[in-house]
C-alpha cells in the first residue's frame, strides 16, 4: 500500500458486541475464510457469547477456525452450514443432525450465493424454513462478515485469503468488516481480485498464465452496505501439518516416478507443467517429491486452491516459477516466513478469488496436473472423499471435484490402508461417491501406481487391485472380483459382499 493507513475515511467503527447486536437471530452470515485463513474471529465470538438464541446460516469459502466451527457451533447458534467444515464440534453437530449441512463444489459457490440458492433467500417464510426468518415474521437478511487488513469507503483489502469475499460482499444486504491489525498490510501486494459477471453475461477470464495478474488488490463493494468495522488483533489459527509418514514417503516416491515418465510421453506437459495438490498434510508432503523430478526447461507453476508450506519450499528451491491460489493455508512457521519477506514472495505468489482459482475453464486452459486424496477408492475407480462408511461426514469435497474433473490429468493419491492396517482403503464398492470413475485417471498408493486411462471396468479393477491394494487385502479383493464376475455385467458386483466390507 502507498501508506500504512488501515482505515480509509470516516467509517462506522464499533466493538464486536455492538456489531453482534445488529445481527438478526436467523440471518445468513457470508464469512470470509479459506483453509483456516482470513476468516472473521471477533464477531463470531461475540455472537456465541450473546444471550440471544440464534439460528444462523453460515456460508464460508472453505474451512475456517474454531471461533466459527467450534465456539459458535457449540453455542447452538448455527442451524445451517455451507460448504465445508473441519472441526470435531462441527462434524458432530452435522452428523447428529443438529446442524443442516450441504456440501458444495467451491467453483460454483459464489454464483450459488449470488443467485440465492443457499441460505433461504428464495425460500417461502414457513415455520420450518431453517434460516428463512427472524422469528417475527420477517425474512432474515444476508450479512457479509469479512476480514481485512485495510478498509475504506467502498473497498477493502483481504488478509490471508481472498476466497469468495468478492462474491459475498456483492451479494450481501449488509457488510461487517473485521479489521485485523495482526496481519501485515503488505499482503495487498499478493492479491489479484477479478470480479465476474453472472451468466449469461460472463466473459472469458483473461488470464493467460497461472502466475499472471488481471485484477485489483482491493475488493470493491457498495459503501452504503457497510454497517460496521470491528478492529481486532486475533491471529489466524495456523495450519498444522503432521510429520510425513513412511506411507506418505512411499506415495511421494511412486508419484514422482510416474510423473517422470509422464513428462516424456504426454504432449500436454511438453512445455509447461501446472500442478495442483489437495489441501492437507499428505498434499503438503507430496510437494517435496517434485524437487527431484527433472522438469528440464519447462515452465513449472502451481495453480490451485491453497498455498501451503511445501509450495514455499518449491519456490525457494527454484522448482516453481509461480504459485496461484485463493488462500495462504500456512503453518505458524510458514506465516512467519512469508510475512517476513512478502515483497520477494509477491513476485511469484498470487492470491485470487476462488471462482478464478477453481475455474473449470482455467483448469482446462492450463492443462493442470491435479493430485488429490480421498478416504477410499473402489476397484472400479470411484472415490469417496467425504463420508466415513458412507454415512458420517468428515470435512467436505472442497475443490477436489473442480480439479479432478477438469484437469488434463487427475491423480488420486492415498494410503492403501487406514487404522494401522485394520481397514483397506481399496474396497469393492464405495458407499458414497464424490468422484466417479469418469473423473480419475491415475491412482497412487505406497504400493504402486494404477494408470486407469482407456481401461474397461474389469481391466481397471484388476489394475487397481494388483498395483495399489495392500498385500493383506489383495487376495480378498481378487476373490471378490472372481465372485462378482460370475454374475456378469459391464461393472460386475456382488452387492451383498460389497456391503459386508462395511458391516463386518
Which of 3-12, 24-33, 129-138 has the lowest average pLDDT? 129-138
Last residue of a domain, one of 167, 199, 232: 232
| CATH code where residue 304 lies | 3.40.1080.10
Contact 142, 119 (CB under 8 A): yes
Whether 330 and 197 map to the same domain: the answer is no
C-alpha cell at 485: 464376475
The chain-wide mean pLDDT, for the chain, equals 92
Final residue before a domain boundary, out of 175, 204, 232? 232
- ∠ CA 305-386-308 to the nearest 5 degrees? 25
Give the phi and the psi of residue 71 in degrees, each rounded to 5. -65, -50
Any domain includes 114: yes
b/e burial code for range 255-265 (CB count within 10 A of at least 16 → b):
bbbbbeebbee
Whether residue 341 is found in the same domain as residue 425: yes
- What are the grid coordinates assigned to 461, written together? 479393477
Q: Which residues are catalytic?
A: 305
pLDDT band (50, 70, 90) for residue 66 = very high
Residue 478 lies in a domain: no
Say what the pLDDT of residue 279 is: 78
Residues 223 and 358 both lie in one domain: no
pTM recorded for the entire structure: 0.93
| Count of domains forming the chain | 2
Residue 263 and residue 176 share a domain: no
Question: Does 494 reside within a domain?
Answer: no
Task: Tell whether 335 and 423 lie within a shared domain.
Answer: yes
Q: Are residue 226 and residue 286 in the same domain, yes or no?
A: no
How would you classify the pairing of strands 442-444 and 449-451? antiparallel
Q: Which residues of 179-198 are buried (b: 16+ CB within 10 A; e: fewer)?
A: bbeebbbebbbbbbbbebee
What range defines the domain where residue 175 resides?
7-232
For the segment 390-414, the average pLDDT, to the nearest whole number, is: 94
Looking at the domain assignment, is residue 128 inside a domain? Answer: yes
Dump pLDDT digits (tens) for 143-178.
999 999 999 999 999 999 999 999 999 999 999 999
Helix (H, G, I), strand (E, B) or coil at 368: coil
Residue whose C-alpha cell is 457470508: 30
User: Given this model, what pLDDT does residue 293 score?
Assistant: 86
Same domain, 183 and 306: no
In a domain, 137, yes or no: yes
> Residue 213: its pLDDT value, please?
98
Q: Are strands 272-277 and 299-303 parallel, antiparallel or unpaired?
A: parallel
The grid coordinates of residue 60 equal 464460508
The tens digit of pLDDT for each residue in 266-316 reads: 999 999 999 999 877 777 778 877 777 889 999 999 999 999 999 999 999
% of the chain at pLDDT higher than 70: 95
Task: Report the pLDDT value the prediction gives residue 282, as an integer from 0 to 100.
Answer: 78
Q: According to the model, what pLDDT value does residue 240 have?
A: 81
164 neighbors 55 (Cβ within 8 angstroms): no
- CA of 413: how far to CAs of 232, 385, 474, 501, in Å? 39, 11, 18, 22
- What number is the average pLDDT over the span 46-60? 97
What's the rounded Cα separation, in Å, for the pair 188 and 218? 7
Question: 255 and 162: one domain?
Answer: no
493 is a domain residue:
no
Phi-psi region of 36 (alpha: psi -120 to 50; beta: other; left: phi over 0): left
Q: Determine phi and psi for 26, rounding to 5 degrees.
A: -125, 35
Q: What's 353's DSSP letter? A: B
Same domain membership, residue 134 and residue 29: yes
Residues 161 and 112 in one domain: yes
Name the domain boundary from 183, 204, 232: 232
Give pLDDT, residue 504: 79
Upstream peptide bond of 83 is cis (omega within 30 degrees of 0): yes
Identify whether 495 is part of a domain.
no
Same structural domain, 109 and 215? yes
pLDDT at 119: 64
**Does 435 share its domain with 286?**
yes
**Residue 497 predicted with pLDDT over 80:** yes
- Is 316 a domain residue? yes
pLDDT band, very low/low/confident/very high, at 357 (cuts 50, 70, 90): very high
Amino acid at each position: 500500500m502507498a501508506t500504512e493507513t488501515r482505515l480509509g475515511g470516516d467509517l462506522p467503527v464499533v466493538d464486536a458486541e455492538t456489531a453482534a447486536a445488529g445481527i438478526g437471530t436467523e440471518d445468513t452470515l457470508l464469512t470470509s475464510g479459506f483453509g483456516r485463513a482470513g476468516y472473521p474471529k471477533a464477531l463470531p465470538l461475540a455472537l456465541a457469547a450473546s444471550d440471544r438464541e440464534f439460528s444462523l446460516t453460515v456460508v464460508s469459502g472453505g474451512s475456517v477456525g474454531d471461533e466459527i466451527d467450534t465456539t459458535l457451533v457449540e453455542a447452538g447458534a448455527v442451524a445451517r452450514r455451507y460448504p465445508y467444515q473441519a472441526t470435531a464440534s462441527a462434524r458432530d453437530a452435522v452428523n447428529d443432525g443438529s446442524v443442516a449441512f450441504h456440501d458444495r463444489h467451491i467453483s460454483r459457490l459464489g454464483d450459488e450465493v449470488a443467485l440465492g440458492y443457499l441460505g433461504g433467500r428464495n425460500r417461502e417464510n414457513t415455520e420450518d424454513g431453517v434460516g428463512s426468518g427472524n422469528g417475527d415474521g420477517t425474512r432474515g437478511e444476508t450479512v457479509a462478515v469479512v476480514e481485512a487488513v485495510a478498509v475504506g469507503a467502498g473497498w477493502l483489502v483481504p488478509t490471508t485469503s481472498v476466497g469468495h469475499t468478492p462474491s459475498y460482499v456483492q451479494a450481501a444486504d449488509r457488510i461487517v468488516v473485521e479489521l485485523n491489525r495482526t496481519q501485515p498490510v503488505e499482503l495487498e501486494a499478493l492479491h489479484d481480485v477479478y470480479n465476474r459477471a453472472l451468466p449469461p453475461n460472463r466473459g472469458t477470464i483473461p488470464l493467460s498464465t497461472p502466475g499472471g495478474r488481471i485484477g485489483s488488490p482491493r475488493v470493491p463493494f457498495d459503501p452504503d452496505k457497510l454497517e460496521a468495522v470491528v478492529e481486532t488483533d486475533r491471529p489466524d489459527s495456523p495450519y498444522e501439518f503432521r510429520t510425513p509418514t513412511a506411507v506418505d514417503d512411499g506415495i511421494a516416491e511412486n508419484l514422482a516416478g510416474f510423473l517422470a515418465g509422464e513428462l516424456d510421453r504426454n504432449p500436454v506437459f511438453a512445455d509447461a507443467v501446472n500442478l495442483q495438490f489437495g489441501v492437507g498434510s499428505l498434499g503438503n508432503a507430496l510437494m517435496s517429491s517434485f524437487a527431484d523430478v527433472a522438469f528440464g526447461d519447462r515452465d513449472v507453476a502451481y495453480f490451485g486452491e491453497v498455498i501451503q508450506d511445501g509450495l514455499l519450499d518449491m519456490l525457494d528451491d527454484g522448482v516453481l516459477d509461480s504459485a496461484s491460489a485463493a488462500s495462504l493455508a500456512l503453518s505458524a512457521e510458514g506465516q512467519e516466513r512469508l510475512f517476513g519477506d512478502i515483497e520477494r514472495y509477491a513476485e511469484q505468489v498470487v492470491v485470487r478469488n476462488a471462482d478464478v482459482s477453481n475455474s473449470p475453464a482455467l483448469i482446462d486452459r492450463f492443462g493442470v496436473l491435479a493430485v488429490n486424496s480421498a478416504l477410499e477408492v473402489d476397484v472400479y475407480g470411484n472415490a469417496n472423499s467425504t463420508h466415513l462408511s458412507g454415512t458420517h461426514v468428515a470435512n467436505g469435497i472442497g475443490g477436489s471435484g473442480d480439479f479432478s474433473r477438469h484437469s488434463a490429468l487427475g491423480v488420486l493419491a492415498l494410503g492403501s490402508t487406514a487404522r494401522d492396517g485394520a481397514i483397506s482403503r481399496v474396497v469393492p464398492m464405495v458407499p458414497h461417491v464424490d468422484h466417479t470413475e469418469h473423473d480419475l485417471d491415475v491412482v497412487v498408493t505406497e504400493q504402486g501406481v494404477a494408470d486407469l486411462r482407456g481401461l474397461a471396468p474389469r481391466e481397471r479393477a484388476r489394475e487397481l487391485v494388483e498395483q495399489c491394494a495392500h498385500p493383506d487385502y489383495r487376495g480378498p479383493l481378487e476373490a471378490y472380483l472372481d465372485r462378482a464376475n460370475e454374475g456378469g455385467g459391464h461393472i460386475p458386483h456382488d452387492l451383498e459382499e460389497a456391503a459386508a466390507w462395511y458391516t463386518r
